[in-house]
Amino acid sequence: MSEFLETMGAAYAAGAPFGLYSVCSAHPLVLQAAILQALDDHSPLLVEATSNQVNQFGGYTGMRPADFRNFVVELAVRLGFAPDNLILGGDHLGPNPWQHLPEAEAMQHAEMMVAEYSRAGFVKIHLDASMPCLGDPAILPDRTIAERAARLCRAAEAAANGAPRFYVIGTEVPVPGGATESLSELEVTHTSAARHTLGIHREVFAAAGLERVWPRVIALVVQPGVEFNHDSVVDYTPSKTESLRTVLSDAPGMVFEAHSTDYQRPAAYHQLVQDGFTILKVGPALTFALREALFALEKIEQELLPTHRLSHLSATLEHEMLTAPGNWRKHYHGTPIEQRILRRYSYSDRMRYYWKQPAVEQAVEKLMQNLEQIHIPETLLSAALPDQYRAVRAGKLRPAPEALILHKIREALVPYAEAGICRLEQLATASY
């Protein structure tokens, strides 16, 4: 499926842009929902792992790149999705997990990680060396970022065994997982900054002997004016990107990659694709939907079962987050009540880091078992999951817990899938 990556820029230049949404999650139910969506749409599926999620030390998922690849491929095969239609990517690949180390040590780890991703068959690689390491200035010069990106690219190429790898670059990279501050001053990437980033990277890549690789640098990460923080979303405004879009006119074969596109209004995704932001990253919105579905099912469980049989899922999650606050404490501030609300309901969804805790997994399993063994009254389903209730009443959905969860997650994916995403048969007949 690398041909999708190869032709995105040409399709945009030809006035027939198509998009790819990138599912940035390792949760099995999220990935299952994404695979089912791609099956229904007869489209490829781009799944990406992040550097802190999957790396040579296991990341917070406990998986190395080859483990993650095998995990996703096995899930795809089980659901009847052809692995050849799966595109694997690595997001924010660079020294991000090792910023506390000096540059030499952090970059050594980063190069090893990128090589593992490439060796494991990840074809789309986001080279992100934008973050400072120990002893670096707070804001790195663009040349330093480009030089570090070139080192990472060289490592990926050496590990690829001749297979093509496609690269995404960019110095104005949004914070993974959403912003933590006020969004009142969010600015679209300046056109001059985007041109400078492209120019300096091309110059540095050529000096590093990577000129032959440059045609496979397919996208530039920019800020199109979309973002979310804990409780608000900045919606896309096309007029604000008019100048920025001219950069693609001077860079044939390239497109923009837009991060933090979660929670946009449905029409925004189609417009983003038309405007050249054809790679759309989504992650927290999917685990946000997962959490909404599970909490809604827990409310149904509480109505139907005695206390001694309950899963106590939300209480278990709260206990685990308070016991190990490292994944949210730096992000959620305010009074104890405000922090509790953020832990449960924030758009940034730091809860996603806790689903693999053994106690949480056991609570989810108990919840599912409880609801699988009883009939869920339509009236309770209407109160807790109204959209899923309507699908059940229409005969399009079984009122089984897993089916309800997958439907809820796919609700967050459908606007992406309807935004000019290329179907397999379209690519087969297109000529750019």
Task: Quickly count: other Cβ atoms within 10 Å of residue 429's Cβ.
Answer: 6
Q: Are residues 323 and 196 in the same domain?
A: no
Token pair for 266: 């449905």
DSSP 3-state helix, strand, coil percentages of the chain (rounded to 5)?
55, 10, 35
Tokens read off for 354: 């806790």
**CB crowding 183-196: b at 16 or more within 10 Å, else e:** eeebebbebebbbe
Per-residue tokens: 252: 């044939």
| Integer Cα distance of 227 and 167 in angstroms | 23
Question: Do 300 and 266 lie in a common domain?
Answer: no
- pLDDT value, residue 172: 76
- Quick check: 50 and 91 in contact, CB under 8 A? yes
SS3 48: strand
Tell me the sheet residues that pair with 126: 168
Select from 15, 13, 76 the least CA-distant residue to 44.
Answer: 76
399 contacts 374 by C-beta, under 8 angstroms: no
List the chain pLDDT tens, one digit each, 432 residues.
Answer: 678 899 999 999 999 999 999 999 999 999 999 999 999 999 999 999 999 999 999 999 999 999 999 999 999 999 999 999 999 999 999 999 999 999 999 999 999 999 999 999 999 999 999 999 999 999 999 999 999 999 999 999 999 999 999 999 997 766 555 555 556 668 999 999 999 999 999 999 999 999 999 999 999 999 999 999 999 999 999 999 999 999 999 898 999 999 999 999 999 999 999 999 999 999 999 999 999 999 999 999 999 999 999 999 999 999 999 999 999 999 999 999 999 999 999 999 999 999 999 999 999 999 999 999 999 999 999 999 999 999 999 999 999 999 999 999 999 999 999 987 767 776 666 666
Q: Which two tokens stand for residue 299?
A: 């409310």
Using CA atoms, how far apart are residues 167 and 400, in angstroms rounded to an integer?
Answer: 41
Residue 326's Cα: distance from chain center in Å? 21
**Looking at residue 184, what is its pLDDT?**
62
Q: Kindly state whether residues 193 and 333 are assigned to the same domain.
A: no
Host H or E run for residue 168: strand 166-169
Backbone angles phi, psi at 89, to 5 degrees: -135, 160
Q: Are residues 225 and 362 in the same domain?
A: no
Same domain, 235 and 361: no
Cβ-contact 8, 218 below 8 angstroms: yes
**Shared domain check, 176 and 204:** yes
Amino acid at 7: T
Query: According to the model, what pLDDT value does residue 303 have?
Result: 98
* 39 burial level (CB within 10 Å; 0-12, 13-18, 19+): middle
Helices 28-41 & 401-417 angle (0-180, nearest 10): 60
Identify the pLDDT of residue 192: 96
What is the Cα–Cα distance from 217 to 34, expressed in whole angstroms? 26
User: Does residue 339 sit in helix, strand or coil?
Assistant: helix
Q: What one-letter code names the amino acid at 150? A: A
How far is residue 353's CA from residue 351's CA, in Å, rounded to a whole number? Answer: 5
Pair (250, 161) in one structural domain: yes
Strands 86-93 and 45-50: parallel
Contact by Cβ (8 Å): 260, 232: no
Q: Report the CATH number that the domain containing residue 187 is assigned in CATH.
A: 3.20.20.70
Q: Does residue 270 share a domain with residue 125?
A: yes
Q: Note the pLDDT of residue 421.
A: 74
Measured distance CA(365)–CA(368) in Å, rounded: 5
Q: Name the domain count of the chain.
A: 2
**pLDDT at position 83:** 96
Sign of the torsion formed by the C-alpha atoms of 348, 353, 355 and 357? negative
> 195 and 103, same structural domain?
yes
The reply to whether 23 and 102 lie within a common domain is yes
**Under 8 Å between Cβ of 38 and 81:** yes
What is the C-alpha end-to-end distance of the chain, expressed in Å? 16
Q: For position 171, what pLDDT does the model report?
A: 77
Do 6 and 47 reside in the same domain of the chain? yes
Strands 277-282 and 20-23: what pairing? parallel
Nearest to 45 by CA among 124, 135, 101, 100: 124
Both 53 and 111 in one domain: the answer is yes
Cα 157 to Cα 213: distance, rounded to the nearest angstrom: 9
- Domain of 366? 287-408
In our burial notation (b when 16+ CB lie closer than 10 A, e otherwise), range 351-363 reads bbbbbebeebeeb
Give, as one character, the DSSP assignment of residue 182.
-
Contact 110, 79 (CB under 8 A): no
Kindly report the pTM of this predicted structure: 0.95
DSSP state of 138: S
> How confident is the model at residue 429, as a pLDDT?
64
Tokens 């048969």 correspond to what residue?
425
Q: Using a CB cutoff of 8 Å and minimum separation of 24, what contacts does 382-391 make? A: 383/299, 384/296, 384/297, 384/299, 384/300, 385/293, 385/296, 385/297, 387/411
Q: Provide the CATH number for the domain around residue 367.
A: 1.10.400.20
